[in-house]
């Protein structure tokens, strides 16, 4: 029996692959597999011109496989859509919390994108990758004094989230060691009170959120910023309403509201030149997911800002946005080797892979649903319904429930799609599993971008006090 998905797409591995015609018009965030995916003459999955089964032989398993073409295409689509639809300036930032490592930061920076970082560690990585500090924006709802100092010294823009940070920055600006950097370039993160449909854990725009200044604080915050203008150069306002969002209206409402904030700031003598609408555009994880394309997301935001500014007769601000998932989510797949299986008659069949919640914590954290294919049997009919289990000591460590697969056994290479965003970046060493390697593929070549961790890596930071050492 070949199963057909309700969305009309036959759920057979090779059907997830786009023909060259389809690739033309599509945003990477709308494709289940990376844009360069193909089935080769051995009936194996190929990404970036590399046979996935060969990659696994060469680099081991599990393996994150990142398609450079898809990532660069997504960067271009964001950049070019703003150029096409907005008369003012724009700057797309990559929300690197989705996948922060040297190679990914270097690729997006080479495409002209700036980088949104959410900690000192992400900032360090972006700078080490060669990103320009004047296109780096530091987030977090609780930046430490050390992180703020690092940000000030690096010259990046600080997206101030709360009074604690505002006060700390003003104090720093008065200290001898840091006064020469003042006024510090900051934006203000505000809570817009805009709701959207997504998982509760990844909604941030509603009033009851740990992020940003409450709208009631707006007057006080602007008054503070102007009073302390020798210390703080407030260039913009920022808001982020949530992640994996398919609706377009909330971002348009947000854009309109932000122009109101900009007008209010002007009444305090603050000239806001940057308006950052955050990230949040969703991606297709399963056939029935239907996110707007990057262009369809960007265009109405530009229109709303132009219209609102036109009506108020004010000059157009620079628009910034900071997508993470929609830039990198579908550019990556994770390849696993199939090991043990277990059939419980009349109940279910489990097949276990050599990774799980440590390399992809999203199913256990958000009940996220993924699709998989068997890389060495791409055209085989889908005859089995199986549950794909990870190898961790945790019953909830299930990567996919009720996956439709061809008959699958030990040694097959199972590929989970759409694993670029918030997989590696949220990975752990639970059960002391070494983190997988990652390769960047394109034009038939694969380059290692993250080395597989070794057992030595796992104990690198362990300390064994003298008195616990076994006397030899």
Query: Which residues contact ligand LLP (rule: CB under 6 A)?
Result: 95, 97-98, 116, 139, 202, 240, 243-244, 278-281, 322-326, 362, 366, 421-422, 426
Angle, helices 120-128/145-154, rounded to nearest 10 degrees: 20
Neighbours of 116 (CB within 10 A): 32
Which lies closer to ligand LLP via its Cβ, residue 12 or residue 243? Answer: 243
The residue annotated as part of the active site, out of 76, 105, 196, 393, is 393
234 is catalytic: no
- Least Cα distance to 187 among 270, 279, 298 occurs for 270
Run of H or E residues at 311: helix 294-312
| CA distances, 472 to each of 251, 468, 469 (Å) | 65, 12, 9
Phi/psi for 275 (5° steps) reads -130, 115
Nearer to ligand LLP, 72 or 203 (CB): 203
> Rounded to an integer, what distance in angstroms lies between the CA atom of residue 325 and that of residue 371?
17
Kind plus residue range of the DSSP H or E element containing 339: strand 332-344
DSSP 435: P
Q: Could you say which DSSP state residue 401 is in? A: E
Which of 39, 452, 87 is closest to 303 using CA atoms?
A: 87
Q: How many CB atoms lie within 10 A of CB 218?
A: 18
**Letter string b/e over residues 227-237, b meaning 16 or more CB atoms within 10 A of that residue's CB:** ebeebbebbbb
Q: Quote the least distance from Cβ 272 to ligand LLP, whole Å.
A: 18
CA geometry: angle at 83 spanning 113 and 269, to 5°?
A: 80
464 torsion bin: left (phi>0), alpha (psi -120 to 50), beta (else): beta
Query: For ligand LLP, which is the closer residue by CB, 13 or 280?
Result: 280
- In the block, residue with structure tokens 């994770």: 334
Report in angstroms how near the CB of residue 90 gets to ligand LLP at its nearest.
Answer: 16
CA dihedral sign of residues 292, 375, 99, 204 = positive
Distance of alpha carbon 392 from alpha carbon 394, whole angstroms: 5
Indicate the residue among 68 and 116 with the shorter CB distance to ligand LLP: 116
Measured at the alpha carbon of residue 39, what is the angle toward residues 438 and 425, in degrees to the nearest 5? 20
> Least distance in Å: CB of 280 to ligand LLP?
4
Q: Would you state the structure tokens that stand for residue 310, as one six-digit string?
A: 């036109």
Smallest distance from ligand LLP to CB 326, Å: 6
360 and 285 Cβ atoms separated by less than 8 Å: no
Local structure of residue 231 (DSSP, 8 states): T
Cis peptide before 5 (omega within 30 of 0): no
CB nearer to ligand LLP: give 109 or 281: 281
238 versus 377: smaller Cβ distance to ligand LLP: 238
Query: Which residues, in sequence order, are bridge partners of residue 63?
Result: 335, 437
Pick the closer one to ligand LLP by CB: 173 or 245: 245
Minimum separation from the CB atom of position 426 to ligand LLP (A): 6
* Nearer CB in complex with ligand LLP: 72/240: 240
Q: Which is nearer to ligand LLP, 48 or 212 (CB)?
A: 212
Distance CA 210, CA 184 (A): 24
Catalytic (active-site) positions: 393
């Amino acid at each position: 029996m070949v199963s057909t998905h309700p969305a009309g797409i036959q759920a057979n591995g090779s059907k997830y692959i786009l023909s060259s015609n389809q690739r033309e018009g599509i945003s990477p965030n709308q494709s289940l597999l990376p844009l360069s995916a193909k089935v080769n003459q051995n009936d194996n999955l190929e990404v970036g011109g590399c046979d996935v089964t060969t990659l696994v032989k060469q680099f081991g398993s599990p393996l994150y496989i990142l398609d450079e073409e898809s990532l660069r295409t997504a960067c271009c689509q964001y950049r070019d859509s703003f150029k096409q639809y907005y008369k003012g300036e724009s700057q797309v930032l990559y929300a690197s919390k989705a996948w922060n490592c040297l190679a990914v930061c270097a690729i997006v920076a080479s495409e002209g994108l700036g980088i949104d970082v959410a900690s000192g560690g992400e900032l360090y990585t972006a700078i080490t990758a060669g990103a320009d500090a004047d296109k780096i924006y530091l987030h977090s709802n609780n930046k430490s004094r050390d992180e703020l100092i690092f940000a000030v010294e690096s010259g990046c823009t600080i997206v101030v989230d709360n009074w604690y940070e505002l006060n700390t920055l003003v104090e720093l600006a008065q200290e001898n060691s840091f006064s020469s950097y003042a006024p510090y370039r900051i934006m203000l993160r505000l809570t817009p009170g805009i709701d959207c449909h997504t998982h509760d854990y990844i909604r941030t725009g509603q009033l009851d959120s740990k992020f940003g200044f409450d709208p009631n604080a707006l007057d006080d915050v602007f008054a503070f910023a102007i009073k302390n203008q020798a210390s703080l150069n407030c260039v913009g306002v920022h808001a982020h309403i949530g992640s994996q969002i398919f609706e377009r209206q909330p971002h348009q409402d947000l854009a309109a509201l932000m122009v109101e904030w900009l007008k209010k700031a002007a009444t305090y003598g603050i000239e806001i030149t940057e308006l950052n609408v955050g990230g949040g555009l969703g991606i297709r994880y399963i056939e029935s997911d239907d996110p707007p394309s990057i262009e369809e997301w960007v265009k109405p935001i530009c229109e709303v800002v132009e219209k609102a500014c036109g009506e108020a007769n004010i000059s157009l601000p620079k628009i910034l946005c900071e997508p993470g998932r929609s830039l990198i989510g579908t550019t990556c797949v994770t390849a696993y080797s199939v090991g043990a299986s277990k059939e419980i008659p009349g109940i279910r069949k489990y097949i276990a892979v050599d990774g799980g919640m440590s390399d992809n914590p999203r199913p256990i954290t958000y009940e996220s649903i993924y699709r998989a294919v068997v890389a060495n049997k791409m055209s085989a009919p889908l005859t089995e319904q199986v549950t794909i289990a990870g190898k961790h000591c945790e019953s909830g460590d299930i990567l996919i429930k009720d996956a439709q697969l061809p008959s699958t056994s030990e040694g097959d290479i199972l590929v989970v799609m759409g694993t670029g965003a918030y997989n590696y970046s949220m990975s752990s060493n639970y059960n002391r599993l070494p983190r997988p390697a990652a390769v960047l593929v394109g034009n038939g070549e694969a380059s290692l971008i993250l080395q597989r961790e070794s057992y030595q890596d796992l104990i690198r930071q362990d300390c064994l006090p003298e008195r616990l050492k076994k006397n030899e």
